[in-house]
Structure 1
Amino acid sequence: MVDVTGHFGMALLFAAPAWAIWGRRGALGFTAFAVVTAMLPDVDLVLRTHFPVTHHGVTHTVAFVALVSVLVGAFAARWLTDSFNAHRLIRSTTISEDIVFAFGTAGLFVGGASHIFADVPSAPDIAAPLSPFWPVYTKPVIVDVVYYDNPFWNVGLLAVAVSVHLVLAWHERYPLETRYRIGEPIGDVDGSEIVGMVDQSEE
């Protein structure tokens, strides 16, 4: 495992492709969500006080992160879509439930998966190794190349990740035009701009 700084840095790196998918405003929200949820697998530190779970156990598996991500995405799509559409910062009236589901599920999965990926290179130093592919592959995956509080790894990783996002944010055009952009231009037809996920019709 790495410390919290390293986990945030890894989550930022994992979230970097959001700039090509969600557009600028959506990417900021997606990245923030991924960073906030990056510590999801460490919920076992809380659960073990009440349940027979161990640190680096089931919560540090891709299966657990995927299941929780789908459940949270489904909840957000069903109960939060209307609130997102009405929010003044989003400025959109056409975000559909499937887009909210994709946003929530992908954001949480990226955050949780980045945590697992960051723990694997250092897990055996002060904590048990991980079996991230349980139940398909039940044996521990041990790399053991980074110590927990190594400042070069933790602070350096965060610095690199922030730099990557600053570079991506500086650019104004991105390679993909998708239906998942939130309030962002996705193309131009006959000189008129098409704005994804934004209803600009007169009411």
Structure 2
Amino acid sequence: MVDVLGHLGMALLWLAPVWHFINHRRTAALVAGGGFWFGMLPDIDLQLSALEGIHHHGVFHTVLAVAVFAAVLGPLVGLVFKSIGTRTDPTWFYDKARERAVAIGVITVFVTGISHLFADILSAPDVSTRIEPLWPVVEGPVVMMDVLWYQSWWATWGLFVLGVTANGLAWYLTDGRDESTAGTAAE
């Protein structure tokens, strides 16, 4: 399991394709910049572990929990993105994205949550228990990849730098996309 920066970096890495699928540079930046924070959502079990039956890498580290988080929080995230585009500068969240704001929010929360599970699957369980990502369908770990050591500083910083670099490169490569749709976004 990587540290916090590693999980945020993995979320940024998994959100990098947003630059390809959203044909508007500022909207993609808003989704990546506002969404990568949800890469830490499965670790809410660290705060709730004082409750009976909740432990780190338990039920909150499953695809089911991530899907529930996405279904509950995703629409709210989408509405926040939409309000940024309507109450502030409309060029930040263009009109086609506003029509699909709820779906964008759900996908953002889901993708970043799954990225957290993937980062934990890559980690050795030296200190913590293995995650069971497909519970309740499959009992026990699905894949055992001991690629990263628990709280490895090089993996943590490497993932973060890779995620920031991927998004920075995508920002650079999509130069000029806003100009083609800025007129329709302001209408």
With structure 1 as the length reference, what TM-score do the two structures score? 0.78
Q: Distance in 2 between matches of 1:102 and 1:81?
A: 11
Aligned residues of 2:39 and 2:115 also touching (Cα < 8 A): yes
Most deviating of 152-161 and 8-17: 152-161
- Structure having the larger proportion of residues in helix: 2
Larger RCO: 1 or 2 (CA < 8 Å, sep 6+): 2
Q: Distance in 1 between matches of 2:110 and 2:184?
A: 23
CA RMSD of aligned residues (A): 2.7
The 5-angstrom pairing of residues 1-203 of structure 1 reads: 1-22=1-22, 23-76=24-77, 80=80, 83-91=83-91, 94=95, 99-141=100-142, 142-172=144-174, 184=178, 198-200=185-187
Most deviating of 47-56 and 82-91: 82-91
Quote the residue 1:190 is aligned against: none
Aligned residues of 2:85 and 2:98 also touching (Cα < 8 A): no
Deviations 1:52-99 (A, max 9, x none): 21110110011111111012233456x657734422234468467751
The aligned amino acid for 1:150 is: S
SS of the residue 1:113 aligns to: helix
Unaligned runs of 5+ in 2: none
Aligned residues: 184
Deviations 1:16-52 (A, max 9, x none): 0010122211111111233211110000111122342
Shift of residue 149 of structure 1? 2.3
Shift of residue 184 of structure 1? 4.1
With structure 2 as the length reference, what TM-score do the two structures score? 0.84
Q: Distance in 1 between matches of 2:107 and 2:146?
A: 28
Most deviating of 91-100 and 25-34: 91-100
Shift of residue 131 of structure 1? 0.5
- Higher Rg: 1
Aligned residues of 2:74 and 2:102 also touching (Cα < 8 A): yes
Aligned residues of 2:48 and 2:54 also touching (Cα < 8 A): yes
Q: Distance in 2 between matches of 1:196 and 1:130?
A: 48
Aligned residues of 1:33 and 1:108 also touching (Cα < 8 A): no
SS of the residue 1:198 aligns to: helix
Deviations 1:106-132 (A, max 9, x none): 111121111110011115111000000
Shift of residue 160 of structure 1? 1.9
Q: Identity of aligned pairs, percent? A: 34
Aligned residues of 1:123 and 1:130 also touching (Cα < 8 A): no
Report the CA distance shift for 1:82/1:195 in structure 2 as closer, same or farther (over 3 A): closer
- Structure having the larger proportion of residues in strand: 1
SS of the residue 2:185 aligns to: coil
Report the CA distance shift for 1:157/1:49 in structure 2 as closer, same or farther (over 3 A): same
